[in-house]
Structure 1
Amino acid sequence: MALLDEAHRNELIFTDGAWRAGSGETIDVIEPATGDTLGQLALATPGDVAAAARSAAVAQREWAARPHVERAAVLRRAAGLWAEHAEEIAWWNVREVGAVPGMAAFAVHTAEQECWEASSLPGRPYGELIPSGEPRLSMTRRYPVGVVGVIAPFNVPIILAIRSVAPALALGNAVLLKPDPRTAVTGGVVLAALFREAGLPDGLLQVLPGGRDVGEAVVTDPRVPVISFTGSTPAGRRVGELAGSHLKRAHLELGGNSALVVLSDADVDTAVNLAAWGSWFHQGQICMTTGRHLVHESLYDDFVERLADKAAKLPVGDPARDQVALGPVIDAGQRDKIHGLVTSSVGGDVRVAAGGDYDRLFYRPTVLAGVTASTPAFTEEIFGPVAPVARFGTLDEAVALAGDSEYGLSLGIVTRDAMRGVELADRIPTGIAHINDQTVNDEANAPFGGIGGSGTGSRFGGAQANIEAFTETRWITVRSQAATYPF
């Protein structure tokens, strides 16, 4: 039985356990590879957000009071449904997002793992005993925050929604989910349909696709005390400002410009394989994408030549119909941003070693050689399939180049001496570091997050990070006899 039917694809707001058209304008769901219309959706409005928040707050109280085994069972059923409907969901992800089939399958598998991991949260200890100087029992206890606002982007909509939705629900919260309108089927409708089939009570997951006004309504609604936002750094700053002015917690997972450092003892073919995947997987539309390649001067020319040769041989095209390594970028605006950074970077010693052009939304994997710390494609997040390559001579130079960024998300280091890699990683501030691997890695049980312009630190993945993100701590004391005071 299909998870999605025609009604779900054309009336994409899901509130109070039912599908209905939103109050906003109707837009087309476009397949980026072909320009074909896959369906239509009516966007939500701030008024829809307010109504959804009111009902979510009511539903949440009953949900939090349910036995922990019931909440865990819903998450386990959801995990099984991701596996059961994997082929259908992945097909939609390929068509709507432009992901190659392998990427789509990975996203669905990760969503399944996120639900399995979240299913363990309801049964975990929710407090601890602490010492007290008074004759009393003193303890801390974790409580659900209430309603969590989740704002997810277009690039990996399944993973970037479920990694907040699943733990928030498991810990006794309700969720308002605002997916990007460009990818609202796999980023929102799929989650609503799947959790309803898993038995999640009505009102606990509300799906509200919309634009900036809807996102601001989610952030500012007084019934939503915690915001989980994934998106660009400029948008994240705005979310953080709004949340701060309303005294709310905002968990911000933002952009990146992650470095892959190739040391002098590295095997070049190994490094090139890692570099290609890090920069071009999913068309470079991943926050952890390798945006800067720092290669020791003794390997530099060989590295650039081999990486450019690999770029020239990778097939680019429609992932739903052809065997390709790269699909389309999401839309013309994103393509033009990518191409603008490439063209503005070329000149002087900076040259295009491979790629640098496009056909419709299909951008060729690109290698830029001769870049420096001042090259636009090196300093800015590209969010496209572009590999800028700079050289360094000493480890101190590598540290300076890698650390010269407002971002601090992921780091890769390639070396035959793993401990040397660890020592180097200790000198470069990032939220994530991988020795002898590229920068794009994610596991449901591992804490994920960046520093600086990449966000507000690790708060997704792993029991402790998720519990801290989606619960509040209360101090509780108990005396056998009432305390007495001198007045």
Structure 2
Amino acid sequence: MSLTPEQAVAELVAKARKAQAIFDDYNQEQVDEVVTATAWALINPENNARLAELAVEETGLGNVKDKITKNHRKTLGLLRDLMQAKTVGVISEDPVNGMVEIGRPVGVVGVIVPSTNPIATPMNNILNALKCRNAIILAPSPKGQPSCTRLLELVYQELDRVGAPRDLVQQLPTPVSKILSQEMLSQVDHIVATGSQNNVRASYTSGTPAFGVGAGNVAVIVDETADLADAAAKIKASKTFDNATSCSSENSIVIVDAVYDAMLAELARVNGALLNSDEKQQLQSAMWHDGHLNRHVLAKPVADVCAVAGLNREGLGDSDFLMVTETDTGPDAPFSGEKMSLVLTVYRASDYAAAKAKASEILDYMGKGHSLGIHTNDASRPVELGETMPVCRVIVNQAHCFATGGSFDNALPFSLSMGCGSWGGNITDQNVHYRQYMNVTRVVRTIPPREVSVEDIFGDYKRKYLS
């Protein structure tokens, strides 16, 4: 007799709780060994190469070389972040304020995994969950499930090696379905949801505490002070990485008029191809059907995009990315939205103020809360953007998709899940990392009183307005 979805998930959760109860007794050294062992399942170059190949074969998204790089870089960077973190027992003491903080698990974590990153995202979540002594259940996309299954087989080998319970890491049974995923959301203790906004909303309405992320639609300003050659090289590197599977890849650039032609020349120099108006219309007709992005252009090489759109200009398919010019934003200008394809939308702005206004329009249409980039040598402009634009990150003079999710040369934590704050409908504005997988118990002792009087608080106000 086959199990109902409720029973199937309940069985997984019961096994996870049993394993987590054992794991709860591990000390920090033992936990860190489990984390290191688990990470080796992907850092091992042979495993990484095979998993990257499987991911591209099964999902049809991205490319093997960049997935190998992403799997390695994201995992190694996260390990750097986790290496010195305390998550077991006393994690901080503040004797002056009489406060002791103790790290505690959240329990069983349920994770929604997008098809765009069927290996890097599960590993990122697994390591964060294990670092805080949790068990984890993954809900991969149907296309990504075979890759995830193979990853877990390799993880189990490493868990066996260090004597940790296998049931700390599980995934939903084949075939994954919406019903199973929704059932998981209602039975676990804690949710991390990355991917479609439908999945994020389902997590928020499940009744279980959830960290979800908002939609990306990265716009990058290039102002008149920018190093144009450096900006073009970084935009190309970010835009083309893994065929633009990242929500942090540039979707639009807004170029100030004074350097517009020169910047286009630099983008052409790094093998970007600007389409004419007829070609743009052909591409638009091919990329969107009834408002939905055509999966045959999603994270595909430029040659494939050209074939789908019937673009046959000589040499166009040999370009590294395509560019289209745009003036409008919103549903009637679909190139102003997130594309997850090797197509970059180019806007021309009369000056920096106009560029900022256009970037704001783009964010208002899609991507509010996520991030904004700028290439500039004006030190004040990035801070001004941070003070006025509805984003949680302003990325300065960097390849956006590498920088937003944490990098070895910036201070953001390594993550594949970027919170978008209230602007993006999220509970967090941070890169989701281990602290979102941990409860903290605070032991509070008395300290010398710090009482205030009415005069301390209201004295100046009374003298200014009431005397």
- The TM-score normalised by the length of structure 2 is 0.74
1:88 alignment partner in structure 2: 50
User: CA 1:423–1:206 in structure 2 vs 1: closer, same or farther (change >3 Å)?
Assistant: same
Shift in alpha-carbon separation, 1:357–1:172, aligned structure 2, 3 A: closer
Q: 2:322 aligns with which of 362, 366, 385?
A: 366
For 1:235, give the aligned amino acid. Answer: N
Contact persistence 2:190–2:209 (CA under 8 A): yes
> 1:293-308 maps to which residues of 2 (within 5 A)?
293-304=253-264, 307=267
Q: Could you say what secondary structure the match of 2:130 adopts? A: helix
In the TM superposition, 1:38-437 aligns within 5 A as 45-84=5-44, 85-97=47-59, 98-109=61-72, 110-115=74-79, 117-121=81-85, 125-129=90-94, 139-199=100-160, 200-208=164-172, 210-221=176-187, 224-242=188-206, 246=207, 248-304=208-264, 307=267, 310-312=271-273, 337-338=292-293, 357-359=305-307, 365-374=321-330, 375-404=332-361, 405-406=363-364, 407=367, 408-437=369-398
Q: Name structure 1 gaps, 5 residues minimum.
A: 1-22, 25-43, 314-331, 343-353, 480-487
SS of 2:22's partner is helix
Counterparts of 2:445 and 2:374, CA distance in 1: 52
- Structural RMSD (CA): 3.6
Closer/same/farther in 2, CA of residues 183 and 196 from structure 1, 3 Å limit: same
Q: Tell me how far apart the structure 2 counterparts of residues 477 and 437 of structure 1 sit (CA, whole Å).
A: 43
Shift of 1:308: 5.6
Contact 2:221 2:356 in 1 (8 A): no
Q: Given the superposition, is the C-alpha separation of residues 139 and 100 from structure 1 closer, same or farther in structure 2, using an over 3 Å criterion?
A: same
Q: Is the 8 A contact 2:159 2:166 kept in 1?
A: no
Other-structure match for 1:446: 412
Once the 2 structures are TM-superposed, how far is the Cα of residue 251 of structure 1 from its aligned partner?
0.8
Query: What SS does the corresponding residue of 1:391 show, helix, strand or coil?
Result: strand
Q: How many angstroms apart in 1 are the aligned matches of 2:111 and 2:153?
A: 13
Unaligned runs of 5+ in 2: 275-286, 312-316, 447-467
Q: Judge conservation of contact 1:260–1:294 (CA < 8 Å) in 2.
A: yes
Q: Tell me the secondary structure at the aligned position of residue 270 of structure 1.
A: helix
Q: Distance in 2 between matches of 1:127 and 1:196?
A: 34
Taking structure 1 as reference, are residues 373 and 361 closer, same or farther at Cα in structure 2, changes over 3 Å only?
closer
Distance 1:291 1:392 in 2: 16
- The CA deviation at 1:419 is 4.5
Residue 458 of structure 2 is matched in structure 1 by none
After superposition, the C-alpha distances for 1:123-148 in whole angstroms (9 at most, x for unaligned) are 6643435678xxxx764433111111
1:470 aligns with 2:455: no
SS of alignment partner, residue 165 of structure 2: coil
Shift of residue 283, structure 1, vs aligned partner? 2.3
Query: Equivalent residue of 2:419, what SS?
Result: coil
Do the aligned residues in 2 keep the contact of 1:90 with 1:101 (CA within 8 Å)? Answer: yes
- State how many pairs are aligned: 396
Q: Which amino acid aligns with 1:268?
A: L
Cα distance change of structure 1 residues 123 and 285 upon mapping to structure 2, 3 Å threshold? closer
Report the CA distance between 1:478 and its aligned residue: 7.6
Q: Deviations over 1:138-167 (max 9, x none)?
A: 644331111111111011222222222111
8 Å contact from structure 2 (residues 139, 172) kept in 1:
yes
Kindly tell me: are residues 366 and 129 of structure 1, through their superposed partners in 2, closer, same or farther at Cα, counting changes over 3 Å?
Answer: same
CA contact (8 A) 1:149 1:219 kept: yes
Give distance in 2, aligned partners of 1:446 and 1:59: 32
Equivalent position amino acid for 1:473 in 2: V
Residue 435 of structure 1: how far off its partner (Å): 1.2
Quick check: 1:46–1:217 contact (8 Å CA) kept in 2?
yes
Give the match's secondary structure for 1:106. helix
What SS is found at the alignment partner of 1:71?
A: helix
Secondary structure of the residue that 1:126 maps to in structure 2? strand
| TM-score normalised to structure 1 length | 0.71
- 1:31-72 Cα offsets, whole Å, 9 max, x none, are xxxxxxxxxxxxx94432221011111221111112221111
CA offsets 1:343-400 (integer angstroms, 9 cap, x no match): xxxxxxxxxxx99954369996331113323453344322222211112123322222
- Structure with more helix by fraction: 2
Name the aligned partner's letter for residue 466 of structure 1. Answer: Y
- Distance in 2, Cα, partners of 1:278 & 1:73: 34
Contact preservation (8 Å) 1:233, 1:255: yes
Q: Deviations over 1:50-100 (max 9, x none)?
A: 210111112211111122211111112223342323333333234334432
Q: Is the 8 A contact 1:254 1:287 kept in 2?
A: no
CA offset at residue 188 of structure 1? 4.5
Q: What corresponds to 1:325 in structure 2?
A: none
